[in-house]
Amino acid sequence: MNSRLVAARVLSRVLQNGQSLTAALDNVVPAVDAVKDRAFVQALCYGVCRYYHRLDFILSQLLDKPLKDVEVKSLILIGLYQLQFMRVKPHAAVSETVAAARKKPWTKSLVNAVLRNYQREQERIEQQADQEPSAAVSHPRWLIDQIRQDWPQQSAQLFLENNRQPPMVLRVNQARTSREQYLRQLAEHDIGATPVAFCASAIMLDKPVSVDMLPGFDQGLVSVQDTAAQLAAQLLDVRAGQRVLDVCAAPGGKAAHILESQPQLNELVAVDIDAARMQRVNENLQRLKLEARLLVGDAAAPETWWDGMPFDRILLDAPCSALGVIRRHPDIKLLRRDEDIAQLQALQKNILSAVWPLLATGGILLYATCSVLKRENELQIQAFLAEHSDAAQVPIDAGWGSPREFGRQIFTGESAMDGFYYARIVKQ
């Protein structure tokens, strides 16, 4: 099938059905044969989501009335994206996109007319887009307002970073090999990489590669995980003989890292509410040859799964808006709604209060989100500390991120990392 048509079908699922881009690609792309074509479909889909708010504004300037057919609309957005952002030759971008529009007779002429019109009017329309706030930074209006309200100084940089392509970062399984040894293996395979100075397990690749190209991936020598997420294990500071709870654990990246960093744990209990995602924890741990107790359960109702034995460490990597990982999942800008934030904030609060009694005296709870919003981060922790007299903050003294009165914030793109937040709380 024509790869532009495949990309339009993927995007329609996101725009019309609210499906995540990852799920839509998994559903549609296996139909595409050549690896090269798959990479092209992915590039189109990620690119259109990344620049959706700009491209959609441009489209509105080229049409008399909104286009109801979502597949045709997606195809035109794909055409505009190629003309504006890709190295595809303009005449090929137009003719190939028109060729993909074979659904109904009128679609070919419409796609052709809109794309040619854009080529003629490009300069004027791009200037208009620069004047329109949502189009200028390619974010939805509510999110622009939220980010500006929380971070007036950093907002412009955050919008830029959210639209950049993220680096690929590896986590070396230190229970099986050393970072130096693995760097040598990468060099032998001509994969350019550098160690991340402030995170002992992290290696940043010069450019992304498929995991099949990574030496020892199937044997569990290495995993793919952003540096920001790799900071959790060292912050949790787990010791031999301890009992650890990872309470929102799927797909298991941080659980695996904890086990890799401390092979002498008494036990790691990993809980997640989503059984299908828990299956992925199982697969990941098997690949890495690690063991944990896996429980499907609601973190906000520990009485349904807890055996009554306290934990020395709790990691709460809370369900959140994921606004810190927009650069990896640009469809978040299309799918997330303003009203989701208050719901997530309430869920985070419930889970925090519910798991707190499971922590032993002297034990540490690490709260983490991949968000940059204060409501999910420092305000959440401030409120928790105000309501729990036996809880005290353990400040995070580190060479990364920005210290806040409560916890530490990593802004997206800072030291090339995803946007993340950490707070460490001890039970007195």
Ligand X SMILES: C[S@@+](CC[C@H](N)C(=O)[O-])C[C@H]1O[C@@H](n2cnc3c(N)ncnc32)[C@H](O)[C@@H]1O
Closest to ligand X by CB, 125 or 278: 278
With CB under 6 A as the contact rule, the residue among 71, 272, 312, 414 that binds ligand X is 272
For residues 55-114, which are near ligand X according to CB under 6 A?
none
Q: Kindly indicate which of the ranges 259-267, 269-277, 337-345, 355-363 contains the residues binding ligand X, using the contact rule CB under 6 A.
A: 269-277
For residues 224-263, which are near ligand X according to CB under 6 A?
229, 248-254
> Residue 295 — φ and ψ, nearest 5°?
-125, 130
The dihedral over CA atoms of 148, 151, 155, 157, expressed in degrees to the nearest 10, equals 180
With CB under 6 A as the contact rule, the residue among 175, 300, 398, 416 that binds ligand X is 300
Closest to ligand X by CB, 28 or 355: 355
Provide, rounded to whole angstroms, the least separation between the CB of residue 345 and ligand X.
Answer: 13
- Cα angle at 47 between 44 and 49, to 5 degrees? 110
Contact 386, 333 (CB under 8 A): no
User: How many residues sit close enough to ligand X to count as binding (CB under 6 A)?
Assistant: 19
Rounded CA separation 101/118 (Å): 17
Rounded CA separation 45/89 (Å): 18
Active site members? 370
Q: Kindly indicate which of the ranges 98-106, 118-126, 298-306, 407-415 contains the residues binding ligand X, using the contact rule CB under 6 A.
A: 298-306
Rounded CA separation 21/17 (Å): 11
Q: Kindly indicate which of the ranges 118-126, 201-209, 270-278, 324-332 contains the residues binding ligand X, using the contact rule CB under 6 A.
A: 270-278
Provide, rounded to whole angstroms, the least separation between the CB of residue 254 and ligand X.
Answer: 4
Nearest to 88 by CA among 7, 189, 196, 172: 7
* Number of helices and strands in the chain (H, E): 17, 13
Residue 319 contacts ligand X per CB under 6 A:
yes
Strand partners, 317: 368
Residue 419 contacts ligand X per CB under 6 A:
no
- Residue 329, helix vs strand vs coil: coil
CA distances from 142 to 53, 132, 373, 417 (A): 12, 14, 13, 24
Contact 88, 95 (CB under 8 A): no
Q: Kindly indicate which of the ranges 47-55, 82-90, 200-208, 271-279 contains the residues binding ligand X, using the contact rule CB under 6 A.
A: 271-279
Q: Kindly indicate which of the ranges 160-168, 235-243, 267-275, 408-416 contains the residues binding ligand X, using the contact rule CB under 6 A.
A: 267-275
Residue 298 contacts ligand X per CB under 6 A:
yes
For residues 151-180, which are near ligand X according to CB under 6 A?
none
- Cα angle at 282 between 276 and 285, to 5 degrees? 145
Closest to ligand X by CB, 300 or 398: 300
Tokens of 392: 């005290």
> From start to end of 37-179, where are the E strands?
169-172
Contact 201, 260 (CB under 8 A): yes
Provide, rounded to whole angstroms, the least separation between the CB of residue 256 and ligand X.
Answer: 8
Residue 299 contacts ligand X per CB under 6 A:
yes
Sites of contact with ligand X (CB under 6 A) = 229, 248-254, 271-274, 277, 298-300, 317, 319, 351
